[in-house]
Amino acid sequence: MELANGGSIHGRETEEDMDRETSADTPLREPSPLYHSHYAGTVRQRAYIFDGSGNFYNKEWDLAEGRGEEFCWYHVELPKGSQKLSQSAQYLIGVLCPPLKLQDILSLISNGPFCGHVDGALVFRVNSPGPASSDFTFRIAARITENSVITVSLGRVPRLGFSRMGQSLLSEIPSVESPTYYRGQQKEGSGTVIREHVLEFLLTMNHSEEADNPVPKSVSNLVVHIIDTHVDQLQDMVTKLEIDLDAVELELDKGGFALKKQMLDDRRFPKMHLNLQRLLQVIAHGEQVFPRVKEKSTSKRWFCSEDIVALEELIGRLRRLKENVGFIANRVTALQAGLDSWQAEQINRKLYYLSFLSIIFLPLSVITGVFGMNVGGVPWTGQRDPRIKDGFRNVMILCVAMLFLVLLCFIFPYLYSRIAAWSRSRAMKKSWSLNRRSFLKRTIGGSGVSQERGGYLRL
């Protein structure tokens, strides 16, 4: 795909240069040379003009609106890097000012969801806060008028642009470049060759990259296309997460101690859960913005009713996508719980080994402690007095008595509960025997009375 007027925006070094660039006298079609000598290749720009009959052409970057049935589309692709939000705003100022004002720039680049009219144009944005270099930071904003659309995205959005039908990979029958061996010889296919990893990518993303997109015939078609590609991008990310999660589950089933330990050390599942929360936030922003876009577009005479229905379908896709992300989050939580239980099992096993070692060495420590005691000077331990020559024995008896007292203190609650349960069961058996005897006595006595009365019981 061609890049119309692929100029880049550039920074300003002095306040005088900034005032000169933003002055009203600056021509629209001749940007300052300062922009083309600094930050080269940082920002990508695309400009299209549509004739309203299904044809489109690349055009120069002049930000002019279409006439009659024609309408223009200007797209700015901000780089995915470590730049700050203010630096991204500087990029847009250099690209879109003039004719746009600072108010328009702020409405396009700010974080959070927004939908409203700014300076007579319908503006919506779905900009998630977060580091611009993250794969889970999505930003798409659009400024819509009757004959012009200006969009801003963070990084490349798949399937957003257009290409000729003849350039589509899907319009031909390719052969997959996968080496196969038969008796030690490699067989090669003929015709158009598609690499295996490219085919896997297309299967993963569920669509081709910028191929065979229907060319919009109105501004409303273009708006639906922009929102559709945004939803497709979110769907692609969810599909990639599902595939990664399936691979992780297989690794956990086949992996051993080292793999699970590595996953715990890398905090793989907490990071995945955090990314899912960011994705849920983006989807929630779309659920807030796109219904308002549909509501505000209903009153526009240039917005077709078929596109209103298409927007409603896209909103339904977002809701289903949100449910799917919730299921993935539950799976990640379950896997993390399994790893936590495995780690607790490993810790319990180590504690069991330590307990076993303590059982082995405890008698040895007791014996060494007994025979290593120095009882000199302790009462009943006078070794030279013949009346208390058994002082060591007396000390041992005292230690055993104290140990028995301590054990009795620990065992007393258990003994008390057992004695109380035994007494309750004995009382219940005694009560049952008394009730049984009384019941038999009444039954036998009653049967005798019934026999005396001819077998009838008095009611």
pLDDT of residue 151: 92
The pLDDT of 240-269, averaged and rounded, is: 81
pLDDT of residue 170: 54
Sorted by where each starts, the structural domains of the chain and their CATH numbers stand as 44-163+213-346 (1.20.58.340)
The residues, ordered by sequence, that sit 6+ positions from 165 with a Cβ below 8 Å of its Cβ are: 171, 212
Whose CA is closest to 142, among 134, 133, 151?
Answer: 151
* C-alpha distances out from residue 170 to 67, 163, 165, 177, Å: 34, 12, 9, 16
The residues, ordered by sequence, that sit 6+ positions from 47 with a Cβ below 8 Å of its Cβ are: 4, 5, 58, 59, 60, 61, 62, 72, 73, 74, 75
Render pLDDT for 340-385 as a digit per residue (tens, 0 to 9). Answer: 888 888 888 888 888 877 777 777 787 777 767 666 666 555 556 6
Decide which of 127 and 258 is more confident: 127
Render pLDDT for 336-349 as a digit per residue (tens, 0 to 9). Answer: 888 888 888 888 88
Decide which of 459 and 399 is more confident: 399
The pLDDT of 283-298, averaged and rounded, is: 90
pLDDT of residue 383: 55
d(CA 70, CA 55): 10
pLDDT of residue 150: 92
Does the reported pTM lie above 0.85?
no
Q: What is the mean pLDDT of the chain?
A: 75
**Taking 80 as the threshold, does the pLDDT of residue 455 lie above it?**
no
pLDDT of residue 200: 66
Render pLDDT for 37-47 as a digit per residue (tens, 0 to 9). Answer: 344 457 888 88
Contact 169, 150 (CB under 8 A): no
Q: How confident is the model at residue 198 (pLDDT cuts 50, 70, 90)?
A: low
d(CA 10, CA 38): 5
Lowest-pLDDT range of 21-25, 299-303, 312-316: 21-25
